């Protein structure tokens, strides 16, 4: 796919001299900037907003976040972010999450952050994740016509808590950069949800290297609804099994596979107790799509480790599957804030998600997830993996699984799946585990060559 035709036609028609920079496929602007050896603050991006007066495109530097207070006071409008599923309709020829800051192409009103005037050159994605377009700032401003210009953003780095920053200051910052004012102190998070009985048995079975289809079937049979779900999937025409399957053990061993059914059963049993929306960067669709791919990749990467470092396959698989479970608990317990978090992440895709959570909620999903698994009495190896899967500097007790999850996540981010921590796959982590980057990327490529089953599983879990 090249530059969308409507974008290219507009650029050519306006007679703007521009340069096209080709690069490897990326999933975020920070990755694109790195691929083209450009500072992130030299790139610009578009945020689409809406209120009763209609749609509005705001253009700001890629490393800035939108100041909703400043914007509302300046325009006298109560603007909110356009939901992600509606952006695909507006930018119909563009790849997901690549929205050109060219308002005239889409018949949108536009405002420009004044900080763009400090740039000699404007660089942006033209609707595709393998290309950047570059032109001088004067030509870009002329191309947009009589666009309003004002100060309504700030560098994301200014949101990061400094040592000594007090709670009141943090609350003020959060209120300034979120589109709503619903806040709740983390002290109200009194108790963690109890583990469902079926999930407890499945988790115990998953860490048993001698577990088999018969044992898994015996657990699932205790839940009639779950039994019916598994049998219905096993009898689906897409699996091509001749005849009718009425036996759970047969469904597991001959049709769906042990890992598939284990994930299905675990997801259903946990999911029934947590009420989470499907859409958004942190909704159930994104959560399960990333989780099932990460689980399989972590499991495969573990097989390449030296024997003395290699975790049990079930433990490696669960580390990848459960790594972001804390986010579901956050979404269940703090629903208004979770809604804000999704919108904030949508508007600021290059800001690390743990920082978003820390500023919006005061706690991160890895902390909550570790507390949850500890409360459920799960093995310490899994607790550590969940708590430290963003921390490439963690090399203490049970660090192997946490580092495997981190490496898998960085590799999946190259495919636009999950969140993208800065820095790519850490070389030190690879060396400590006896892995090499070529092996990691090869296993990731293999995963996506045959990922239809995982995509199907994720869709079923999110339903």
List every span in the chain annotated with CATH 1.10.3210.10. 197-462
pLDDT value at residue 434: 94
pLDDT, tens only, 144-168: 988 899 998 877 666 544 333 444 4
Phi, psi angles (nearest 5°) of residue 110: -140, 145
Q: Is the pLDDT of residue 274 over 90?
A: no
- Residue closest to 429 by CA, chosen among 402, 447, 449: 402
Strand bridging mode 54-61 / 44-51: antiparallel
The average pLDDT across 177-183 equals: 37
- pLDDT tens track for 40-75: 888 999 988 888 899 999 999 988 878 777 888 899
Tell me which fold the domain 197-462 belongs to.
Answer: Hypothetical protein af1432 (1.10.3210)
Please give the structure tokens belonging to residue 327.
């986010």
**The pLDDT of residue 113:** 94
Residue 10 has pLDDT above 70, yes or no: yes
Residue 373: band (very low, low, confident or very high) from pLDDT cuts 50, 70, 90? confident
Do the beta carbons of residue 115 and residue 147 sit within 8 Å?
A: no
Please tell me the predicted confidence (pLDDT) of residue 38. 92
Examine the pLDDT at 126 and tell me if it is beyond 90.
yes
Q: What is the pLDDT of residue 104?
A: 94
Q: In the predicted model, is pLDDT for residue 351 greater than 90?
A: no
pLDDT digits (tens, 9 = 90+) for 81-103: 776 667 888 998 998 878 999 99
Higher pLDDT, 282 or 1: 282
DSSP annotation of 253: I
Tens-digit pLDDT profile for residues 422-435: 668 999 999 999 99
Query: Distance of CA 283 to CAs 159, 181, 271, 405, 439, Å?
Result: 24, 21, 12, 20, 31
Residue intervals of the chain classified under CATH 3.90.960.10 are 5-159
Task: Provide the percentage of residues in the chain whose pLDDT is more than 70.
Answer: 86
The mean pLDDT value for 405-417 works out to 91
The correct answer on CATH 3.30.70.20 for the domain covering 5-159 is no
Q: Name, of 36-40, 239-243, 451-455, the range with top average pLDDT.
A: 36-40
Burial class (CB within 10 angstroms; exposed 0-12, middle 13-18, buried 19+) of 250:
middle
The 3-state DSSP class for residue 149 equals strand
Report CA Rg, the chain.
24
pLDDT bucket at 136, cuts 50 / 70 / 90: very high
Mean pLDDT of the chain: 82
Does position 169 have pLDDT exceeding 60, yes or no? no
DSSP β-ladder status, 54-61 and 109-113: parallel
């Amino acid at each position: 796919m090249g530059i969308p035709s409507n974008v290219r036609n507009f650029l050519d028609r306006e007679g703007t001299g521009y340069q096209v920079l080709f690069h490897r496929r990326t999933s975020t602007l920070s990755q694109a900037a790195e691929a083209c050896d450009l500072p992130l603050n030299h790139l610009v991006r578009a945020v689409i907003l809406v209120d009763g007066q209609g749609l509005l495109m705001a253009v700001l530097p890629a490393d800035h976040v939108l100041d909703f207070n400043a914007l509302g006071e300046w325009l006298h409008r109560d603007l909110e972010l356009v939901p992600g599923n509606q952006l695909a309709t507006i930018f119909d020829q563009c790849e997901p999450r690549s929205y050109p800051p060219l308002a005239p192409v889409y018949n949108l009103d536009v405002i420009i952050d004044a900080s763009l005037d400090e740039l000699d050159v404007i660089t942006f994605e033209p609707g595709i994740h393998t290309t950047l377009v570059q032109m001088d700032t004067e030509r870009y401003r002329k191309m947009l016509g009589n666009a309003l210009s004002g100060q309504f953003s700030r560098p994301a780095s200014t949101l990061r808590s400094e040592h000594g920053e007090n709670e009141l200051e943090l609350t003020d910052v959060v209120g300034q950069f979120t589109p709503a004012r619903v806040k709740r102190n983390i002290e109200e998070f009194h108790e963690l949800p109890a583990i469902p009985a079926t999930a407890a048995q499945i988790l115990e079975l998953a860490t048993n290297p001698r577990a088999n289809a018969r044992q898994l079937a015996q657990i699932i049979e205790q839940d009639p609804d779950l039994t019916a779900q598994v049998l219905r999937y096993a009898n689906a025409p897409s699996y091509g099994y001749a005849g009718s399957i009425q036996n759970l053990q047969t469904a597991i061993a001959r049709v769906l596979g042990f890992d598939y059914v284990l994930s299905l059963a675990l997801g259903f049993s946990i999911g029934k107790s947590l009420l989470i929306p499907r859409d958004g960067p942190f909704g159930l669709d994104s959560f399960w799509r990333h989780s099932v791919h990460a689980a399989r990749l972590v499991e495969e990467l573990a097989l390449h480790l030296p024997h003395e470092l290699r975790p049990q396959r079930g433990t490696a698989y669960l580390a990848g599957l459960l790594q972001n479970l804390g986010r579901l608990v956050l979404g269940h317990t703090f629903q208004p804030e979770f809604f804000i978090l999704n919108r904030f992440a949508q508007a600021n895709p290059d800001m690390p998600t743990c920082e978003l959570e820390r500023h919006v909620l005061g706690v991160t999903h890895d902390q909550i997830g570790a507390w949850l698994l500890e409360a459920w009495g799960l093995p310490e190896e899994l607790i550590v993996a969940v708590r430290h899967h963003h921390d490439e500097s963690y090399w203490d007790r049970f660090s192997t699984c946490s580092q495997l999850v981190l490496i898998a996540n960085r590799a999946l981010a190259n495919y636009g799946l999950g969140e993208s921590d800065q820095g790519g796959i850490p070389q030190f982590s690879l060396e400590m585990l006896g892995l090499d980057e070529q092996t990691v990327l090869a296993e990731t490529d293999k995963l996506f060559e045959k990922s239809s089953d995982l995509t199907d599983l994720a869709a079923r879990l999110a339903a």
